[in-house]
Amino acid sequence: MQPGERAVPADDEGSERRGLARLFPQTPPPGPFRRTFWSSPLRGPWLTSILGTILLGGVVVVATTGFLSHAAYNPSLGMNAIVDPGRDLPLTFDWPTSPSWLYAVSQGLHVNIGLATIPFLLAKLWSVIPRLFAWPPASTPAQAIERTAVALLVSSAVFLFATGVANILYWYPFKFNFVVAHYWAAAVFVAALAVHLAVKTPVILRAYRTRGALAPLRADLASTEREPEDSDGLVAEKPADPTITRRGVLAFAGGGALLLLVANAGQSIGGPLRSLAFLAPRRQVADDGPNGFPVNKTFRGAGVPEQAVGAGTYRLMLRGDGGERELSRQDLLALTQRTQSLPIACVEGWSTTQSWSGVPLSELARLVGAEEADEVFVESLQPRGVLRESTLSRDQFRDERSLLALRVNGSDLSLDHGFPARVIVPALPGVHNTKWVAAMTFRSRA
């Protein structure tokens, strides 16, 4: 008979097994529920601790920048928030306009560190997989609560990474709204992680204290032995011979992380690295002229009516407390022009810095006596979709670098980049740099 399959005489049952354990048959079901099924000699509290520590570093960066991105959308303004602001978490603040690269860096970290974290998440899950089949599933109510938190932690983590990767690939195989689901899953993840850390910190510290924080990495294959028996059941009862060292496991996961970084980071960093990013959807650009930088949604894709952008027909509608103005593109070109080097930084993690020229938004506010307005509501000629509008804060439209851009890199904007006019604001998420602007309404909040 195998250890862990010990059969206890029936009359012993009541006395030996207490609490919740009595709800389950004493003998574990066959297969993965038996401890002997898991035979890797590497598993144990130390290996799980080192993988967990690296993973923690990654998820702290990803969660922080994730909630920062939500704040950067200025969810309290207009319809910026798809997550209902009434039921939002109190985690937002006035998103600044400086430094202008703030959102590009924050969101670049979110996406790229997120990708690099995936191999460590998989390695960590592999290291604890016997726990998934622990028998009985819970013996005490405290254990049941802890295991529920772990179930929420694992499922929210898998959900967040899977939906995040799908989103950066512009692939939507699901019916629910990505932003809402990703946001609330993140809230569940952070809460479950807090419980998990509270429970596991003593276990981690004990593993580092007894085994040495890094000492087990020094063992070569011949001296790779299983960890001492633990109460969590991670250590194999009948270990097989090792086929890889513990440092080999870390190097394998680290190599995967590096590969994912090379495959994607170029579209966030730009320059020659962009073409190297072999898995990044925004690594290629259609032309190499002044408008040769990534396009998120094309003119055709957005369904902007062609006649609306013609020289004879295009009018920008400006509204403010001090009146209304209608301006043709010629009128706009006759106003103060300023040139600014500013990034477009998309929530999907790619960014690109270009030299934009156009009319300062503060100048447009002045034209309709709206310098003191609280916000400006921007609408596109694009007929449909949530991306056809955005609302900018007062600090954003009053920043002297904020432009209604008419030209880029010394040429007229291309149709795909928003001709006749588009918004460019420092540190603003790309999505709110509205293209094909039709109207701007400066307004005060009641």
User: Where on the chain is the footprint of ligand MTE (CB under 6 A)?
Assistant: 294-297, 302, 344, 346, 380, 382, 387-388, 417-418, 430-431, 433-436
Q: State the angle between helix axes of 102-132 and 141-168 in degrees (0 to 180), rounded to the nearest 10.
A: 140
Report residue 53 CA to chain centroid gap: 20
Q: How far is CA 90 from CA 67, 76, 205, in A?
A: 11, 11, 33
DSSP symbol at 410: T
Distance CA 216, CA 208 (A): 10
**Judged by CB, which is closer to ligand MTE: 61, or 346?**
346
Strand 437-443 and strand 316-320: the pairing is parallel
**Judged by CB, which is closer to ligand MTE: 357, or 380?**
380
Residue 297 beta carbon to ligand MTE: minimum distance, rounded to whole angstroms: 3
Residue 407 beta carbon to ligand MTE: minimum distance, rounded to whole angstroms: 13
Contacts within 8 Å (CB) and 24+ apart, 169-173: 169/281, 170/281, 170/348
Residue 165 beta carbon to ligand MTE: minimum distance, rounded to whole angstroms: 18
Residue 346 beta carbon to ligand MTE: minimum distance, rounded to whole angstroms: 3
Helix (H) or strand (E) holding 318: strand 316-320
As given in the structure block, the two tokens for residue 289 are 């002229």
Measured at CB, which residue is nearest to ligand MTE? 430
**Judged by CB, which is closer to ligand MTE: 81, or 344?**
344
Chain residues that interact with Mo ion, rule: CB under 5 A: 346, 430-431
3-state secondary structure of 327: strand
**Judged by CB, which is closer to Mo ion: 426, or 430?**
430
Hey, which residues does 429 pair with through a beta bridge? 345
**Judged by CB, which is closer to ligand MTE: 238, or 297?**
297
Residue 58 beta carbon to ligand MTE: minimum distance, rounded to whole angstroms: 25
Residue 417 beta carbon to ligand MTE: minimum distance, rounded to whole angstroms: 4
Give which of Mo ion, ligand MTE, none residue 196 binds (C-beta under 5 to 8 Å, depending on kind): none
**Judged by CB, which is closer to Mo ion: 192, or 431?**
431
Give which of Mo ion, ligand MTE, none residue 302 binds (C-beta under 5 to 8 Å, depending on kind): ligand MTE
Distance CA 22, CA 3 (A): 20
